[in-house]
Structure 1
Amino acid sequence: MRMFREFARDRRVLLSLIANDLRARYLTNYLGVLWVFIQPVATTVILWFVFQFGFKAAAQNDFPFVLWLVCGLVPWFFIVEALNSGCSSVKENSFLVKKIVFRVSLLPLVKLGSALMVHIFFVCILILLFLVYGYTPTIYWFQVIYYIVCLFALLLAIAWITSSVVIFFPDLSQLVSMAVQFGFWLTPVFWDINAMQSRAVKYLQFNPFSYVVEGFRDSLIRGVWFWDRLEQTIVFWIVLTVLILVGLRTFKKLRPHFADIL
């Protein structure tokens, strides 16, 4: 709780660092902020074309396939960006680590905050797509906020672990990239978990990333509250709580040695 109070006290510094990170990543390029969505949009179009016209993917319960697909891709783009940037957040800012007055625990928050800004932009685009297709907003749509909070907390806990361990074990960044590739296929981004008959489905449902991806579809498509999936919700929060405790403990334990290694 003390760490979270410190985050609240340093919120102005945090917001300033997030703004600087966004400017450094995008505004220095010729296309500037367009790079925020060029790659995600290109990926979405390719996957939609392959599965819509190549594999002849049918509408999901009479729902347009492209909307069903984008509902899974929007949170997944956030997951990929946050996992990769969160892992390198401390290492990339070694000059700040060596400053005694700087709170190093803010660095993972900076990267995740920057990724969150982009994610919110894509959520707005997603909602706009639903409106263009003629779907009217419902009260379930507000539940997306809950799943964004869940996902941000989960990614922050993971970032605290990876950003501190990677300093002592550089190969971890490659392992994280590999895990992201496996995670794409193990998370129901473009396949329907409810249509599978395998026993493995029972375990895939408890994947914390699956909980969020399916939560987006529950909110925008199916109209299902998160408490209606009580078992998955309980498991998610147990996993999240454990990861937060482990993440905070790991970061606090390794923090005094960062400057020596960097």
Structure 2
Amino acid sequence: MANNNVPFSVTFAAGAIAGVSEILTMYPLDVVKTRFQLQVGKATPGQEQYTGMTDCVKKIIKNEGFSRLYRGILPPILMEAPKRATKFAANDEWTKVYLKTFGVQKVTSPISILTGATAGATESFVVVPFELVKIRLQDRASAGKYTGTMDCVRKIVKNEGPLALHIVWNAGYFGVIHQVRAMLPAVKSKNGELFNNMIAGTIGGTFGTILNTPFDVVKSRIQNSPRVARSVPKYNWSIPALFTVAREEGFSALYKGFAPKVLRLGPGGGILLMVYSVIVDFYKESVRRNGSITR
């Protein structure tokens, strides 16, 4: 999905608007997903236990208020512009690099997967610090520790050091979205193109969620583990953490929060791709009418 004639400023704006649109629509499901992922074993006194997605939403609203479903939304909104700009721009740029490296003219399935994975790795450098703050603010056990986003950042850096803001986690499904989009029948109408983008984004988001949910579970555990001097956190690195969770809680625990996650990132991926494409297409149409491209 390389947009060779679209300048970075347009990619940045399109990605930012698409990302914020997706966040505002689907964010409550991300809060529910995080609560499930941080839920370990049986409830302890004072700890809420959730039996299902609907039960989780009901208990959050009843015990903490409706606004808690949007707790921690500021970091995701603040990161959407650089995050989505990085995602789409990196995907386009890495596509050019790999096409030149492998000496081919057209994107193939392996190149689309490689491009998506590399774009995801590039994006992770932008996303991780904001993700860490978001996880801490969404966790009910941490609710009383922080008064807001900046207070959370200050306390993490002060108490745990800046290394807490750098967690290794790479999840990208851009290659899957690209592949599904290429497999759909060609359409000539704008409505048909919007439909294809929504379908491709939804299928790609769903497939990507199936692949990366175990890593997302351990990412949440790692990011929610405070650093204590002279002690090694239980959840420290991704691969060992995967085995720890599976051994202690069973393989199914690696898919905690899957339902709200896939409900968010499935349709959310469709919304993201559709809004981004609409904005980019609008720019291209404006360029055609004006007869020039501003770089």
TM-score (normalizing by structure 2): 0.34
Judging by fraction of residues, say which structure has more helix.
1
TM-score (normalizing by structure 1): 0.37
Larger Cα-atom Rg: 2
